[in-house]
């Protein structure tokens, strides 16, 4: 790449936003942002751990419900075995802070690579400040989740210990769903966390492959990506003219397979035949 800039976090280099706008392409291996996989299907976890440059995993109750998980602990232990030594985030379920704390210690006991996901607030809108402080002071690695605002990032940053690893998950994709551009917000969040070397910013809920490059450009430490976005990794750097042709071929193939046709008046059909014959010469 000809246009590079220092990461907002201070270490290494990242793709400049202006380079993204110009259509430049950089290999996935050149990016500094760590690629995590987000999911709860164990067969997919096994394949991702084996075949792709995945540095860690996340999951959540919604994904677990879709995967029809019934035994949380058994599911987590199988997940950890597949992930090997990669970090994995598992979430507490309770809405009561005291019970959340008990659940957090239980989840943390499942393995040294476990990060316990703590929501930034409970379902009543009460900020999880005291709980985050206690768990971080006790050495529990946390992934503080469902963060949407810079004020929340600032408050969480004040709660986590600089002696315990922590992740702050900002839902950049959902922020984008509101019509707001999350890129500048994420860049500022990187700056807020910079004084704590053990606090990492995670770009959550990405909506497209390009978000991986956005995350890298602003110096975000981690991006967690679902399988539908990961499936697009082979498209990185794809020739756009080839992509255009393949798209037209796909439309043609699907129309034929669907048995679609357009009934033309006899006069129009007759006039169309010489044109088609001329095109074949």
Distance CA 166, CA 209 (A): 25
Burial of 100 (0-12, 13-18, 19+ CB in 10 A): buried
Name the one residue in this structure whose structure tokens are 């969040």. 189
Which residue is it, tokens 């399988």? Answer: 227
Taking residues 91-115, what's their average pLDDT? 98
- Tell me, what's the pLDDT at 151? 98
- pTM assigned to the model: 0.85
Helix or strand or coil: residue 48? Answer: helix
The reported pLDDT for the residue numbered 281 is 60
Contact 47, 231 (CB under 8 A): no
Q: What distance in Å separates the CA atoms of residue 67 and residue 116, rounded to the nearest whole number?
A: 20
The per-residue pLDDT for range 5-37, each reduced to its tens digit, is 334 444 334 444 444 444 556 678 889 999 999
Q: Could you tell me the CATH superfamily of domain 4-235?
A: Aldolase class I (3.20.20.70)
Indicate if the pLDDT at residue 273 is higher than 90: no
Selected residue with higher pLDDT from 1 and 61: 61
Position 52 scores a pLDDT of 72
Please name every residue paired with 114 in a beta bridge, in sequence order, or none if there are none.
88
* Residue ranges covered by each domain of the chain: 4-235, 240-280
Beta-bridged to residue 118, according to DSSP, are 144
**How many other β-carbons are positioned within 10 Å of the β-carbon of residue 248?**
9
């Amino acid at each position: 790449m000809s246009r590079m800039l220092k990461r907002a976090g201070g270490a290494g280099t990242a793709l400049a936003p202006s380079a993204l706008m110009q259509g430049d392409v950089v290999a996935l291996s050149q990016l500094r942002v760590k690629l995590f996989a987000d999911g709860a299907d164990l067969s997919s976890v096994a394949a991702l751990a084996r075949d792709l440059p995945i540095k860690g995993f996340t999951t959540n109750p919604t994904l677990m419900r879709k995967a029809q998980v019934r035994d949380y602990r058994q599911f987590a232990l199988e997940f950890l075995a597949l992930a090997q030594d990669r970090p994995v985030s598992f979430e507490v379920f309770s809405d009561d802070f005291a019970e959340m704390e008990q659940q957090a210690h239980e989840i943390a006991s499942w393995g040294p690579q476990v990060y316990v996901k703590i929501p930034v607030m409970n379902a009543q809108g009460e900020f999880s400040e005291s709980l985050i402080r206690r768990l971080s002071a006790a050495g529990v690695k946390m992934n503080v989740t469902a963060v949407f605002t810079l004020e929340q990032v600032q408050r969480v940053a004040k709660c986590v210990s600089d002696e315990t690893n922590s992740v702050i998950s900002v839902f950049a994709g959902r922020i984008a769903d509101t019509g707001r551009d999350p890129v500048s917000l994420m860049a500022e969040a990187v700056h807020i966390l910079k004084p704590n070397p053990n606090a990492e910013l995670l770009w959550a809920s990405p909506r497209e492959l390009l978000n991986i490059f956005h995350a890298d450009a602003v110096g975000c430490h981690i991006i967690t990506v679902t399988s539908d976005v990961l499936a697009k990794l082979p498209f990185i750097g794809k020739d756009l003219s080839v992509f255009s042709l393949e798209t037209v071929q796909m439309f043609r193939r699907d129309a034929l397979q669907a048995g679609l046709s357009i009934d033309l008046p006899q006069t129009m059909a007759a006039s169309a035949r010489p044109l088609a014959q001329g095109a074949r010469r």
